Structure 1
Amino acid sequence: MNRWVEAARPRTLPLALASILLGNLIALSEGHFSPQIAILAISTTLFLQILSNFANDLGDTLNGIDNQERKVAQRTVQTGKVTIPEMKKAVIILGILSFISGILLIYKSLQNTSFQEIIIFLLLGLLAILAAITYTIGKKPYGYAGLGDLSVFLFFGWVGTCGSYYLQSRIIDYSIFLPASSVGFLSVAVLNLNNLRDIDNDKINGKFSIPVRIGKEKGFLYQKSLYLLAIIFSTIFLGDTTKLNPYSAGIFLIGIFPLLFIYTKLKSNLSSEEIDPYLKKTALSTLWFIILLGISLQLTK
């Protein structure tokens, strides 16, 4: 069991929950909330994140990215703790679990709705499963072309937040894209830290992540801009005259501090070993930021 827990990468799971929690908390602040929908959305997201981690573990080993040169954050297939056939089966199982959970979520959320809405969310779910698998698996994994940032932004930001908000409220509110973008930026920040940590090995083995393309120094500038954009977009959302009051603003500021602390600590001369702890710190700080943003919204009514 320990090897599968390691392969699931528990430190990535808080980040996966951030967008779902935010969408549900915004809906709750507006008087729309079903515990059953929230639970199904959380379970679907966790299955998708673990699926992505398993597929990434398998794909990077098959493509030679995870090799003997990788010394930091070694993977389970790379080290032989999980065999390739075992991980292939695990990817299939997690894909099935993600699909079943997603179907149950759609069934519970979209009763008495149009067929078109059901098809849209079904396609989004299938795309999420496909994106989780093809990030590193296949003849041309899109993650190796530097497109992982865009995928993470869309699915961990817009789809997760706006989708969960709509499933709870059945309301289309374009202002939700502001906080959804904040979650997306912070999710990309975790991915970019991962790529900054692995930049040397990725460069040698043909994985053209954003840091590989623009260099380590500019990669850190990109990293810091992601933190700032996340704070700016959420501030604009919360700063709406119908949402802002001293109490919500104070709680929101407390949520920002951990991100600003990480911002000040990241420098381009950090080694891979020194960068690695900031992945977990950023993931947890993102979850903290989202929870406090959600709490601040509850105080606006």
Structure 2
Amino acid sequence: MATADADVSKTKAWLMAARPQTLPAGSAPVVVGVGLAVHDGVFAWLPAVAALVGALLIQVGTNFANDYYDAVKGADTEDREGFTRVTAGGLIPPERVKLAMVATYALAVVVGVYLVAIGGVPILVVGLSSILAGVLYTGGPYPYGYRGLGDLFVFVYFGLVAVTGTYYVQAVTFADAGLFPLGLPADTLPLTAVVASLPAAGLSTALLVVNNVRDRETDAEAGKRTLAVMLGYRASRVEFSLLVGMAYVVPVLLALDDRFGLWALAPLLSLPLALSVGRTVMRRTDGEALNPALERVGQTLFAHSLLFAAGLAAPALL
């Protein structure tokens, strides 16, 4: 693990704890949900902005939770090759990181009040379960991130839920469902929204795979049984390839649909970046190579999502 610097300012330490380099995982699915909403003629700017702010707050809150709980559970050791964790590194007292986690999730709830008012019970369930899942990833008596389930959590919440939820809170404003609908009004969650969520789900999970491949040895020593620890390097690389591959197969499938056409192929412009980082993941396991690779996967995720959103929206705008 990178050695904590006694001269690190408090501002820099809090930025390290918030991990802004992970924010593409929170914002990218929202961008895709907005692009599809524009395509379907149900774009609504206020719910879209609220969904983005809420997603980013949950992402940061989860980062604080992971920093805090990994430290107090002893999963972050001096041998860890990842970016410096502020709790384990002694840069910020544990109780202050925990307080930041609670405060950030509380802000997400404040934003969520508006989304729940228009989205009703479906958004209430999604919002509360997202926060609970973020805490229990490394917190609680049975943290599921230590039991090989972290990949599933990221796939579901940073892909399927984030994209479809963003689409839904916009579409429901056109459904004349009133405040706080108890179920899903008709035509507010089409199958195409689920399909369009798969690339963001795959690339977001690929981020976690790279992180866990890098930390496989130290995680195993600390008793943290991530999926990479359970599967080993070879199978983890197969998982990474399948997740990234899916992100580029889905646009091709949508391009076969006349409603989207060739515009849906726009994400393929990011393929060279994905292939470049893929070569590193296939060959290396050390932090020196995989820390930059993590950032490049995040760049791939964001570039793919921007291009995908633009391609989805293009037929309605041109």
Same fold (TM over 0.5): yes
Distance 1:261 1:40 in 2: 34
Map 1:217-256 to 2 at 5 A.
217-245=234-262, 248=263, 251-256=266-271
Question: 2:133 matched to which residue of 1?
Answer: 131
CA contact (8 A) 2:65 2:101 kept: yes
Cα shift at 1:136: 0.4
Is 1:267 matched up with 2:282? yes
Map 1:9-158 to 2 at 5 A.
9-107=19-117, 109-110=118-119, 118-158=120-160
TM score, norm. by length of structure 2 = 0.87
Q: Structure 2: 5+ residue runs without aligned partners?
A: 1-10, 173-187
Cα shift at 1:69: 2.0
CA contact (8 A) 1:217 1:268 kept: no
> Which whole-Å deviations, capped at 9, do the CAs of 1:170-203 have from their partners, x for residues lacking one?
3221122112011111110001111011001001
Amino acid at match of 2:234: E
Distance 1:123 1:77 in 2: 31
Distance 2:231 2:264 in 1: 36
TM score, norm. by length of structure 1 = 0.92
Is 1:183 matched up with 2:206? no
Cα shift at 1:250: 5.7
SS of equivalent residue, structure 1 residue 48: helix
Instruction: Give the aligned CA root-mean-square deviation in angstroms.
Output: 1.5
Cα shift at 1:229: 1.4
CA contact (8 A) 2:251 2:265 kept: no
Report runs of 4+ in structure 1 exceeding 6 Å deviation: none
Q: Percent identity?
A: 29
CA contact (8 A) 2:213 2:233 kept: yes
Amino acid at match of 1:232: V
Distance 1:27 1:76 in 2: 39
- How many residue pairs match? The answer is 291
CA contact (8 A) 2:13 2:86 kept: yes
CA contact (8 A) 1:26 1:297 kept: yes
Q: Structure 1: 5+ residue runs without aligned partners?
A: 111-117
